[in-house]
Structure 1
């Protein structure tokens, strides 16, 4: 068996709100809550299990990048714009209201309700078209 990521826990201010936000933007389903977790499963079977942090517990902001198709990017980006969610072309938030075209694709960064940096990209970093194509 090869090693693969199965799930990760995402601390949030409100597990249901954060799970619903991500699921809505990416066109995914919110899974069935179990214990303190509200899961959102990605297309490759990895779940992000949202857990509500204890009151007063600081949340360490993390970065989560999602590789999406061109059509999925269009749908997600339309939701981001329609909801008035601020977005940037870069992780340092120096290019507001822009998308990037890194590695021949498109990408955009935005924040979830708990402040985690989310990114959608249509090409993995370092992607190069096959010379035969």
Structure 2
């Protein structure tokens, strides 16, 4: 069997708030949660597990490949909710999306400050 991605733990200041944010933006399913984790289910069984660590949270980057229709809906939610977003990872093009790599992309932050990216075409 080849390796596939199964799950990751995303540090949050409020695990319920973060999980709700990801479910809303990504239209992802709620998943059974246990112990210190609040879980969100993505396609192909990938699990995002949100936890509140007892240490300072260091910003991480998470990129999600979505189809054009989900991108449109998610982007509209960012705009409707007044979530600051950029066309680039350095925040030099606020309020825009990009058309790099033959698709569209946008960058924004989750409630814990992690850098998120939605893109409609993979880089490779």
Q: Common fold, TM-score beyond 0.5? A: yes
Offset, 1:30: 2.3
Q: How many residues align?
A: 124
Which of 105, 108, 111 is the matching residue for 1:107? 105
Runs of at least 4 residues of structure 1 off by over 6 A? none
Unaligned runs of 5+ in 1: 127-133
Unaligned regions of 5+ residues in structure 2, if any? none
What does 1:84-95 correspond to in 2, within 5 Å? 84-95=82-93
Superposition CA RMSD, Å: 0.9
TM-score normalised to the size of structure 1? 0.90
Structure label with greater radius of gyration: 1
How far is the alpha carbon of 1:105 from its aligned partner?
0.5
* Residue 40 of structure 1, CA deviation: 1.0
Distance 1:61 1:30 in 2: 24
Distance 1:98 1:33 in 2: 35
Corresponding position of 2:50:
50
